[in-house]
Structure 1
Amino acid sequence: RILSRSKFLQNLNYVPPFWILNGWMNLGVFMLKQKLWKSLGMISLKKQTIITPDNGIISIDWMDDPKTRMLPDNAPIICILHTVTGSGDGTWDFLRDIPKYGWRACVFVRRGHGGHPLMNATFSVMGDVEDTKLQVEAVRKRYPNAFFGMAGLSAGSGLLITYLGKESHNSPIGVAASLCPAYDISQAFKGLAKRYPMVDSVITKSMKKTWIHGNADVLREHCSVSFEACCNAETIMEFWESASKYSGHEDFDEFCKHNNPMNFFQGIRCPTLVLNSLDDPVCVRENIRFDLAEQTENVALAVTTTGSHIAYVDGIVGESQWMTKICMEFMSHAYHDHLHQTV
């Protein structure tokens, strides 16, 4: 029903600017834009800190631009689950156009991200559903009359599906978007180091910077073997397997049992858009589960020829992001459908 109401969604055709020659250039321009927004001081976010029951630190980064400040308290809200080593700042390219759709936006910042120190030896590469539930409740408490959407970017897309599947009917989320997911995380990155060694290396170093650097004492004290293994990891999979104990699991297999989105997607109860690009160098085309939309009535899958990994540079000079456009088009139609049903 949502798709049938939108000509844009029915005729998806991402065409990058003429000067974007390939997926690598698309990704490079996207990364450059992220640095540009920060260096120009254009990022406008206000942090709401949350202390978890085990004294961990997570937060919600709220958009605080002039358009957002003008929104009524009952304006719909989109909650963003960031990338594997992301933050509120790093999500700005996706966020910046959202207020023009009449939506309020916030980013759920996980443990160890966004400058948060680890107060104990607990973090998860994919994020934690219990922490996400705390963030959702904080948003509901602040805006009790709002309609809620949720979008996950890259690793955040996996957390999104796991959260929606586990919570199912208990989740207040009315619409969702899983953007550039890897699907089966137990297998998705095993060949990445050979296929795209530079990509794997950059992400691995970023993971170490996010969780290991600055948290050495607390992590080493909890488990020196895991700490040394994380420090010595040369690939995403080596780091992930080594860090499993820090997420409260005995090993990577047990971690996947509780956190692999493919174990929980059938519990999704809200309309959910899944977006992938065939030239994605991180969540590669071979991982795409084309059968999921057929198995789950609430899921729609959109696959583009190009777009790279959460890049989708758009506009004559690359000023926009097409991924924001498709996400907000889908969510806005779901919101209007919700309003129609509640009248």
Structure 2
Amino acid sequence: METMNSLADSPYKLLLTALSLIPITHYVIIIVFVLFVKLYNFLEFHIIQDLLSGFRGQQVELTFNSCSHLYSEVVSKCKLLHGRFMSTPWLSSPHLQTTFLRFFGRPPFFNYRREIFSTGDGGIVALDWLAQHDVMENEYPGNNEVHQDAGTPVVIVIPGLTSDSDSVYIKHLTFYMAKRGWNVVVSNHRGLGGVQLTSDFFYNGGWTEDLRKVVKHIRSQSPDVPLFVVGTSLGANMMVKYLGEDGDDILIDGAAAVCCPWDLLLCDRFIGRNAVQRFYDKALGAGLKRYAKKHQDFFTRLSDWDGIEKARRVREFDTSGTCKIGKFDTADIYYRASSCASYVRRIKIPLLCISALDDPVCTKDALIWDECRANENVILATTQHGGHLGYFDGMDAKGVWWVRAVDEFLTILGSSKLTKRQNKMPDSLLLRPQKSLTDKDPNVGFAKKTDNQIHVDNLPKVTKIFETHTAFDSITFFLKRFMDQF
């Protein structure tokens, strides 16, 4: 009898009875809440933190040498670098910032003017130019010639991995700076920008010779104007390495590195860390495979084509393609030899580095904190949020913060005594406010690609080409971008 009573009073039975009395809606609420917390942490959302801070954003952190003249003469006057960065509330995740840039980045609509430049070893690169009159309504020259002000400073843009002048973030940068009065030229990597590979070599993360020759070419055409370089992502790694290699012999006056990987080996380890990072790894690897298929005859002849076709990660592509063509024994050797972090101490010109601590592609563990404190020519600006090259701010997500920050830095640098050619900076660059130019500009389309009708008539040793792409509507654009990931 006592045994039966003990079973009737079993704590487990009592617990089940109590749980059965809880309404099913409460269970649904609990499950939804748990899923929300997991998704919130998985995608690294920070909307709650933003709400608690009153949507004021976080202060931009600056790391530099205490004796830096670059800081006292230039960066101390940069309002954006001494302010706060607040990402668009509905993009309060580094992954949303990064993917929004690729899928819905709303690139401006304009036409480049193309110069085909020979690298001297049989290779060619496409230089896509954009000046102020190219982005001003009704100001296109009727004879399709390049009419560049001889005194206007020039900015060379180095895109990232598999990116070119048609990439969304590159369009945002070139449009903004051209609208502000700069002469901007995008130096597309070999085999990108619609040109073919014409030599037995293609670019890699540590290849600086093409950039060196492009800079020398542009400097020879414009010897007396300020010349700057902006590198993005892997292009920033190439640019920083170039700055360190040339040291005192550099031909440019200043530079900016945005979302630089710094240490390719650390980034390779980081990008395979979890499911979200592996998505980026897969997407970047797919981009490299598309690049290889565009130049299949080249890669079939010089690399392990079977390995490239089987590659799923960037590392696998580099093992079968980059290392074979670049004469590296292993991927680790290639990453160590090509990383730019060890070259930072040799840089002799002003350099601004911008990175987000939540960058899902380039790990914060590779950031050059100590190198910046040791070299008075380098300043590192870090933000808590921003993703990889995203940095969308404002409720409408039309502005890209790092674009405005780079423009402000280069403008003030160009007018400072740290730049020998500061007297050539036009007044229009010094007086205009630092704000997004896309809000009111009639040339901005939601998801239309640039027509890229390219023509140059008056530059020496130039091949004139015409390249036209069909403009897609927003749905087609999104589907294409989505399918490109696989």
Normalised to the residue count of structure 1, the TM-score between the two structures is: 0.90
The yes-or-no answer on 1:227 pairing with 2:309 is no
* Alignment match, 2:90: 19
Shift of the 201–309 alpha-carbon distance from structure 1 to 2, 3 Å rule, reads: same
Indicate the SS of the match to 2:91: coil
Deviation per residue, 1:36-73 (Å, 9 max, x gap): 437xxx13211111122221121211115245978622
Does residue 37 (structure 1) correspond to residue 116 (structure 2)? The answer is no
- Ranges in structure 2 where 5+ consecutive residues have no aligned partner: 1-71, 140-145, 424-486
Q: Pick from 94, 100, 124: which aligns with 1:57?
A: 124
Please, which moves more after superposition, 249-258 or 229-238? 249-258
Question: What corresponds to 2:80 in structure 1?
Answer: 8
Q: Tell whether the 8 Å contact from 1:151 to 1:177 is kept in structure 2 after alignment.
A: yes
Secondary structure of 2:107's partner?
helix
Q: What are the equivalent positions in structure 2 for 1:63-82 lying under 5 Å apart?
A: 63-64=130-131, 65-67=134-136, 72-82=149-159
1:201 match: 282
Structure 2 counterpart SS, 1:136: helix
User: Structure 2 residue aligned with 1:217, among 297, 301, 309?
Assistant: 297
| 1:335, distance to aligned residue in structure 2 (A) | 0.5
**Alpha-carbon distance, 1:326 to partner:** 0.9
Deviation for aligned residue 1:229: 2.1
Cα deviation for residue 281 of structure 1 reads 0.6
Give the CA deviation at 1:284.
Answer: 2.0
Among all aligned residue pairs of Structure 1 and Structure 2, give the percentage whose two residues are the same amino acid: 22
Partner of 1:28: 99
Instruction: Look up the SS of the partner of 2:253 in the other structure.
Output: strand
Q: CA deviation at 1:235?
A: 1.1
Q: How many residues are paired up? A: 335
**SS, match of residue 298 in structure 2:** helix
Query: Any conservation in 2 of the 1:157–1:178 contact (CA below 8 Å)?
Result: yes
1:203/1:293 CA distance change after superposition, 3 Å: same
8 A Cα contact 2:135 2:179, kept in partner: no
* Kept after mapping to 1: 8 A contact 2:110/2:135: no
Structure 1 position 87 matched with structure 2 position 157: no
The answer (yes or no) to whether the contact 1:124–1:244 under 8 Å persists in 2 is no
Contact 1:230/1:238 (<8 A) preserved: yes
Residue aligning to 2:188: 109
CA RMSD of the aligned region, Å?
Answer: 2.2
Asked if 2 retains the 8 angstrom alpha-carbon contact of 1:127 and 1:156, the reply is no
Task: List alignment gaps of at least 5 residues for structure 1.
Answer: none
Q: Which moved further from structure 2: 161-170 or 12-21?
A: 12-21
Query: For the structure 1 residues 115 and 70, does the alpha-carbon distance in structure 2 shift closer, same or farther, using more than 3 Å as the test?
Result: closer
Q: Per-residue deviation at 1:124? A: 2.6
When Rg is computed on C-alpha atoms for both structures, the one with the higher figure is 2
Counterpart of 1:272 in structure 2 is: 351
Q: Deviations over 1:85-122 (max 9, x none)?
A: 10011110222111243321111111121122222331
TM-score by length of structure 2 reads 0.65
